[in-house]
Amino acid sequence: MKKILILTLLLLSSCSLNKVVQHHGIHNLEKKQAELKINYTNKNDIIDLIGPPSTKSTFDNDIFIYIERKTSSSRITKLGQKKLIINNVLILEVDNTGILLSKKFYDKNDMQEINFDEDITGINYSKRSFIFNVLSSVRQKIDDPLGKKRTKN
């Protein structure tokens, strides 16, 4: 009995009751974006302040996308489900001269709940496409180049 009690205490002592917080992306994005000024801050200032962007795209102007996401594992009763603490996205548009044109900041409250349709679409094989008919014809020609198999009765 003492061995089981000691073994149980050893197993429980190795468990941590502290929440594990996982952080992905740029730390303190909301505070850093407040220091950016439209038509004043340039590309070098942005990279010095926030760092390289999580995603960068180039169209007419450069678009920098910065992401901050913080999750925490929930209680034991929830069986390890993740709880979203912070979900911030910053979108910066920089013109070709390097000056900040616009900034858009989205937080967890701006997220939209997307409902997916549960209906299942049926597959209709009765209508064959043009490509299917062409490939079937080619397959028949390869299988029977002289056409002798089709004329057997």
Q: pLDDT tens across 46-78, in order?
A: 999 999 988 888 777 889 999 998 888 766 556
Q: What is this structure's pTM?
A: 0.61
Per-residue pLDDT band for 145 (boundaries 50, 70, 90) equals confident
- CA 72 to chain CA centroid, Å, is 18
Please state, rounded to an integer, the average pLDDT across all residues of the chain.
80
Per-residue pLDDT band for 24 (boundaries 50, 70, 90) equals confident
For residues 132 and 34, what is the distance between their CA atoms, to the nearest angstrom?
Answer: 58
